[in-house]
Structure 1
Amino acid sequence: MSATLEAAPVSNSTQLPAAAQSQLEEVFGFSEVRPGQAEVIAALLEGRSSLAIFPTGGGKSLCYQLPALLLDGLTLVVSPLIALMKDQIDFLQAKGIAAARLDSSLTREENLQVFSDLQSGKTRLLYVSPERLGNERFMAMLGRLKLALLAVDEAHCISAWGHNFRPDYLRIASLAKKLEIPRVLALTATATPEVAADIVEAFGIAQADAVKTGFYRPNLSLHAAPCEDEKRKRTLVERLKERPAEPAIVYVTLQKTAEQTAAYLTSAGLNARAYHAGMKSEKRNEIQEEFMAAEDMIVVATIAFGMGIDKANIRAVYHYNLPKGLESYMQEIGRAGRDGQPAHCELLACADDVITLENFSYGDTPTAEAVASLVDAVLDQGETIELSLYRLSREHDVRDLVIKTLLTYLELEGILQPTGAIYTEYKFKPQRSSAEILEQFDEGRAKFIADIFRQSRKASTWLTIDVAQASVNLNQPRERIVAALDYLDGRGDLILQTAGVRHGFRLLKHPDDRRELIETLNERFLQREEQDITRIRTVIDLVESAGCLTQTLLDYFGEERGPCGHCDRCLGAVAQPLPATAVTLSGSDRQVIARVAKERHDALRSPRQLTRFLCGVASPAASQAKLRSHKDFAALERVPFGEVLAAAEQQV
């Protein structure tokens, strides 16, 4: 495990530079900053990188928005939250600040306008997802721009010790060095000391420039107690009706639970709506906008809801199901009471939830056979490696994210070096004749573009070019060909489309012992599984804590304050142990396992594949075979994964 880091204490004496203070007042309309903001902003303006560990609603975004107005160059903001991007763009544009985003929701015309504004130097802030940094066209464009600041939101995702490790984040630090970005701001609301140490090491941040304001929110009252499953819906209704009608969020684990619970609350006369990732985006947007405007609406949601939602008067957050860890819990309750007024946070702890959460953790761990076959598929390609994650996922029955994680582990072992995502196929539709296009350029450039056109195959209206082959035929760098096509697309001379994304890697060295490498990778996945299970246990420890709930939570994040005086325990509630679940494998359950095993589905050939299916954990192969509609999918979701797996091993 990495070393821990003690973030710099916040000093109330730190003042903003005069130019920053002026922009704060004139543009943002604030006379003073919140705790920690001055330290972070001052460090960035002085040319140093910084880490800001602020609670949800603590003002992280101002820490890069304000410097962006004073620095010479573009501020690039990396965020996984499209909702946050949209909200912040609207806010900044209303202030007269030139800000833009690039995401899949933009039209072609909107994309072209964004690129045009970037190339002209008009744009001050650009918001993108971490996945965008794997796009070769986008990276080529960034290389032509002057970058002043990189802001990385949800920075805890770079840490293998974090609760939401995302392989795409791990490459951000190396890309910052490659693009020679002079300063980086890493932002998070949920960093433990170990995670903070990973972040500062990755981005070369001095300990003095790691600023933590503290996780304590004095206006949040925490409540947690065991609850029997059959009484949970009634208990939730009672809690909601004990308080005035007010904006509230009820968090659940499964999409079907969101639908069922919202329907139950509605039948009880409450204004409730379900929200989850399985809904169409138009429906989710409608519910989100309704919630933002309402004064009494309850959203029953999976964790898909709340990321980037800036509603200040949420008066209560209920956890109908257990969160998957204290990081998630801290982030989710942080959406309550952002206006500083009192807010109620209650966790209805049911033992059955432990099995559901653990099943998902176990289900994500690849089999040893899958790890071995994946390693062979990658390393047997030679020095230059191109991979289709979609194809690998289906061939080896492993989720895309798990494959990305395995590739990241190979990077950490020094075996692979990413060369970026590339497209195997480019196709374009000319908007004017070749002669009209070529006459705009001098002789040398016109000849180069004409050569590109001659490398293309024409269909009815579109021309297709194999860029890799064209690079060989013309003895020109691939990047130059792509840049030329992008330039013509930006001018409106042609419409450019890409297809066949592949992820490129360079083999740096062959492992000394491939079998030993595979064993190491399996150990990493099992270690990650153990970490996830441990996180679930920390939530149980919080529920069963005899001491102050607030301090128990803060202890996990390395903060010492003493009793809060306003949580359950401080107000006299006695801690109760979570009753052990009595669920175990029954005779009828064994019959279900035997019945599905006898059907001999190709997607359920191994014991772990069969166990995932029965425990309700979808896999690529099972989804491709349309087995999620099978009557026995998730039939044993309330049975411990290990018990189902042991029985499945006897059948398969």
Structure 2
Amino acid sequence: MDDDFDSGDDLFDNVNADELVTQNKRPASQGLTAKGNDDSHGNSKRQRLDLVGVGQKLLREKFGYDKFRHEQEGAIGSVLNGENTLVIFPTGAGKSLCYQIPAIAFEEVDKLNGEDRDFSGITIVVSPLIALMKDQTDALKRKGITAECNDSTKTFEQLQQISSDIRSGKLRMLYCSPEKLNNEGFVESLKYVPGGIRLLAVDEAHCISEWGHSFRPDYLKVARFVDEIKAERVVCLTATATPKVADDICKQFKIDHSNVFRTSPYRPNLNLQAKSTPNEKAKIAELLAYLDKHVGSTLVYVTVQRQAEELATTLRGKGHNAEAFHAGMKVEQKTSIQDRFMASKVRIVVATIAFGMGIDKADIRNIIHFNTSGTVEEYSQQVGRAGRDGLPSYCMMYISHEDWYIKENFARGDLPCKSSLDGLLHDVFTREMIKGRDGEDVIKLNHNELSQAWDIRASPLSILFATLELRYGLLRAITPEYSSYQFEDRGFYNKMAASDGSPEAKAIYKHAKRARKWYTFDIKAAMAGGLSRADLVRKLNHWNDTGAIMLKTGGVEHRYRVLKTLPRTNAEYSKLVKELYADMESRELDALQRAQDVVDLITGERCFAAALAEHFGMSLPDGKTSCGHCTFCTTKKAIELPPKPPVKVDIAGIQAVLKACDVRDDPRFLARVAFGIKSPRVMKLKLQNNSVFGSLEDHDFTVCINLVTSKFPVLMPCSL
């Protein structure tokens, strides 16, 4: 059963509510000190030493390290003292220990603090990547630590075991995705976990910031989640927070700046290199020469999936042991490549950014950016995967004008036309409302249908709904529903249905039709008899939890609770559209600037390492102003891009686009076709297969818009 969008029923039925303990805040103290004790207490020194011993003992026995590194001890001490904490460590610097050690130390800490608890509680880890959650939970289990991840890949039996372990208080750590926080049942059930929520760890915390390089709207709801489940303390972790993003995280989670722990991204064993190339053909020649000279495990990063496949094929053709890796591949294929790379059976992986998160291979000798990184943060995170064993490693970035088109293509695709945004809001706000389980007004929406209807990509559409929820307070996302319910008889269904005299059981038995193996339950037909969806789904989930059936669901419908009167007048719509569109325009400009920041770092007249550290509000160690071994330090020359060839405005090209596409309500849409940017409407009209798609990719995007507008200066309102 895919539990990311379940019915909202409690995960833990028949569990007695256990009052959660909310600890009082105290000023941060240095090191692993016991909360509630300071030097004015006679036994403080003994307790401080005991607690240091607890952390170090766990570090040795469970994780195999002799001592803490960098700021780990201070960060863990802050967490154990009940302080909300922010950890900004570079990739590979041991961020995960800052919540894993506290998670298993709370029982001993309680004893030192004189607290008598029946249960030591649980640590919830919010992480955006299922693969990363799985890697960490598998590693923790090997160390004898009870940890699980609540995600859609789990089998029926595994979900039952996780539920049982939480109910009994056995589980120490539970990983979940930020999207899970829209599930009312999941949120409600965590309010009554035995022993309470001792710690909420927010991994990849930069995703919460609208100014972060990989903003995810569901992360904005994590801070609210903290209050709803009454988590005792929070630790936010990231490798890539600029000062602005760090301030944003601190504000969201009420973190005092004295509880921010940073470690410089500078790694003396990494040689940061860069080279400009006139075109991709020259770049491939440079790459082949580089790989012949630099041996060892290598990651080559590209921007798009097609490049990964083509470049890996080229490298194999030249005798290199290389494989492609990208999000479009099958899970088994990706797992095999990753495992073989970890075992050094594959030397080179040519990958999109889909590869690398959570990869802990100590002897990666080379990180190569075949294309310019999308952001400085992305670059820092990726080069941080090299040389974790401390030995010299090399990080090469190739830079060319051709790369800018790809970056602009990504950035320009998320901004719809104003009329699309206006149409979307009118569509959503005039939908028929239904009554929720508590009598509140609820709107049901299918995001995919909205995306297709109003030509707005999935990511900006999600951001729009998060903005309507968190900034304007108009809607609140609640547990999504399924339109399709199927189940398999586990051998007890007929007996269970026959012995259950409830109206819900009778309706399920009546409206569930069996094919070869699976029963399909017509929930709408059952509801026509006056029964509520919630009660019917609760019964299905109960039978699923008891093992009578195995439930399978599909067809996600998002649901939103209406929080206050929605806009109705033209003036109200106009004001909201204007503000939302201004936000989206600023995001587009911000995305373009992020790509330009990478170019500026590489082509600037200064040390690469110093510029990288400064981007994150830090400097090189010991007051140094240069690393001495990056490309700039060794050549004393800035990288120069070859002159960009002049582009003659192609009037015939824009006329061909207009001839191929009869859309006349949106100049930005036509410019997307000319520039080669996919959108839901482009795909619906199959224009991506037309020869005009991307025919003007060498033009400036704004030039494409101006050309279209000059041909059709009076445009009709957008009506999709």
- Name the structure 1 match of 2:581: 522
| Alpha-carbon distance change, 498 to 435 in structure 1, aligned in 2, over 3 angstroms | closer
Instruction: From the superposition, tell whether residues 13 and 482 of structure 1 become closer, same or farther in structure 2 (CA, over 3 Å).
Output: closer
Matched, 1:488 2:543: yes
The 5 Å alignment of 1:230-629 reads 230-243=281-294, 245-294=295-344, 297-381=347-431, 383-425=441-483, 427=485, 429=487, 431=490, 436-437=495-496, 449-451=502-504, 453-454=506-507, 458-461=511-514, 462=519, 464=521, 466=523, 473=530, 482-505=537-560, 506-511=562-567, 513-561=572-620, 562-582=625-645, 584-587=647-650, 590-600=651-661, 606-629=666-689
* Partner-residue secondary structure (3-state), 1:185: strand
1:525-575 residue CA offsets vs partner (Å, 9 max, x unmatched) = 110111111111111111211111111111111112321222122223411
| Residue matched to 2:704 | 644
Counterpart of 1:186 in structure 2 is: 236
Q: Percent identity?
A: 38
The Cα shift of 1:234 comes to 0.6
Deviation per CA, 1:599-624: give whole Å up to 9, x if none: 3366x963322332333322123334
- C-alpha change, 1:148 and 1:391, in structure 2 (3 Å) is same
* 2:142 aligned with 1:89: no
- Displacement of 1:91: 1.1
User: Which one is further off, 247-256 or 117-126?
Assistant: 117-126
The structural deviation recorded for 1:450 is 4.3
State which of 135, 156, 176 in structure 2 corresponds to 1:108. 156
Q: 2 CA distance for matches of 1:53 and 1:131?
A: 23
The correspondence of residues 193-204 of structure 1 with structure 2, limited to 5 A, is 193-204=243-254
SS state of the match for residue 534, structure 1?
A: helix
Which deviates more from structure 2 when the two are superposed, residues 573-582 or residues 309-318?
573-582
Cα deviation, residue 628, structure 1:
3.4
- What amino acid does structure 1 have at the position aligned with 2:447? L
Q: Partner residue of 2:95?
A: 60
Letter in 2 for 1:508: K
CA distance in 2, matches of 1:144, 1:479: 21
- Give 1:390 shift: 1.1
1:165: Cα distance to partner? 0.7
Letter in 2 for 1:486: N
Q: Secondary structure at the match of 2:387?
A: coil
Call closer, same or farther: CA 1:460–1:208 in 2, change over 3 Å: same
- CA pair 601-126 structure 1, distance change in 2 beyond 3 A: farther
Aligned-pair distance for 1:307? 1.5
Instruction: Write the letter of the residue equivalent to 1:422.
Output: P
Quick one: structure 1 residues 368 and 58, their matched pair in 2 at CA, closer, same or farther if it must change by over 3 Å?
Answer: same
Q: How has the CA–CA distance of structure 1 residues 599 and 351 changed in structure 2, closer, same or farther, with 3 Å as cutoff?
A: closer
Read off the aligned partner of 2:681 and give its amino acid letter. Answer: A
- 1:11 touches 1:36 (CA, 8 Å); kept in 2? no
**Is the counterpart of residue 41 in structure 1 residue 76 in structure 2?**
yes
Aligned match for 1:122, one of 156, 170, 189: 170
Cα distance between partner residues in 2 of 1:157 and 1:137: 24
Q: Is the 8 A contact 2:414 2:459 kept in 1?
A: no
Note the C-alpha offset of 1:190.
0.3
The aligned counterpart of 1:218 is: 268
Give the 3 Å change call, closer, same or farther, for CA 423–40 of structure 1 in structure 2: same
Q: Does the 8 Å CA contact 2:28/2:78 hold for their aligned counterparts?
A: no
Q: 1:251 to 1:434 in 2, by over 3 A?
A: closer
Per-residue deviation, residues 454-506 of structure 1 (Å, max 9, x unmatched):
377514223636499959946x8x76664553232111122323333222322
The alignment status of 1:29 with 2:64, answered yes or no, reads yes
Pick aligned residue for 1:151 from 195, 201, 211: 201
Aligned-pair CA distance for 1:452: 5.1
Residues in 2 aligned to 1:601 and 1:151: alpha-carbon distance in whole angstroms: 51
Structure 2 CA distance for aligned equivalents of residues 367 and 300 of structure 1 = 36
Partner in structure 2 of residue 635 of structure 1:
695
Preserved contact between residue 299 and residue 366 of structure 2 (Cα < 8 Å): yes
Deviates more, 1:429-438 or 1:113-122: 429-438
Equivalent pair of 2:264/2:619 in contact (CA under 8 Å)? no
Secondary structure of the residue aligned to 2:213 is coil
In 2: Cα distance, 1:101 partner to 1:44 partner: 22
Q: Which residue pairs with 1:167 in the alignment?
A: 217
Q: Is the contact between residue 424 and residue 468 of structure 1 (CA under 8 Å) also seen in structure 2? A: no
CA shift in 2, pair 1:635/1:144, >3 Å: farther
* 2-structure distance, mates of 1:456, 1:438: 7
Deviates more, 1:163-172 or 1:377-386: 377-386
CA contact (8 A) 2:207 2:215 kept: yes
Gaps of 5+ in 1: 1-7, 441-445
Gap change, CA 1:295 and 1:459, over 3 Å in 2: closer
How far off its partner does 1:299 sit? 1.3
TM-score (norm. length: structure 1): 0.90
Equivalent position SS for 2:444: strand
Distance 1:468 1:34, change over 3 A: farther
Please give the alpha-carbon distance, in whole angstroms, between the structure 2 residues aligned to 1:452 and 1:173: 39
Shift of 1:25: 1.9
Cα distance in 2 for residues equivalent to 1:9 and 1:332: 32
The 1-side partners of 2:140 and 2:342 are apart by 19
CA deviation map 1:567-607 (0-9, x unaligned): 122223411332342252554xx4444334323366x9633
| Distance in structure 1 (CA, Å) of the matches to 2:534 and 2:199 | 25
In the TM superposition, what is the alpha-carbon distance from 1:247 to its structure 2 partner? 0.6
| In 2: Cα distance, 1:249 partner to 1:542 partner | 21
CA contact (8 A) 2:337 2:346 kept: no
Task: Write the distance in 1 (CA, Å) between the matches of 2:312 and 2:692.
Answer: 25
**Bigger mean CA deviation after superposition, 138-147 or 199-208:** 138-147
Is 1:50–2:85 an aligned residue pair?
yes
3-state SS, counterpart of residue 87 of structure 2: strand
- Structure 2 counterpart of 1:76: 124
The two structures, once aligned, show a CA RMSD in angstroms of 2.9
Instruction: Indicate the residue corresponding to 2:6 in structure 1.
Output: none
Unaligned runs of 5+ in 2: 1-26, 34-48, 107-119, 434-440, 713-720
| Segment of structure 1 superposing worse, 381-390 or 554-563 | 381-390
Q: Residues 255 and 434 (structure 1 numbering): CA distance in 2 closer, same or farther, change over 3 Å? A: closer
CA shift in 2, pair 1:650/1:147, >3 Å: same
Question: C-alpha distance in 1, partners of 2:529/2:96?
Answer: 46
Q: What is the CA deviation profile of residues 397-440 of structure 1, one whole-angstrom value per residue up to 9, with x for unaligned ones?
A: 11111111111222243232414232144635454667843799
Matched residue count = 633
CA distance in 2, matches of 1:580, 1:468: 67
Q: After the TM superposition, which of the residue ranges 197-206 and 420-429 deviates more from structure 2?
A: 420-429
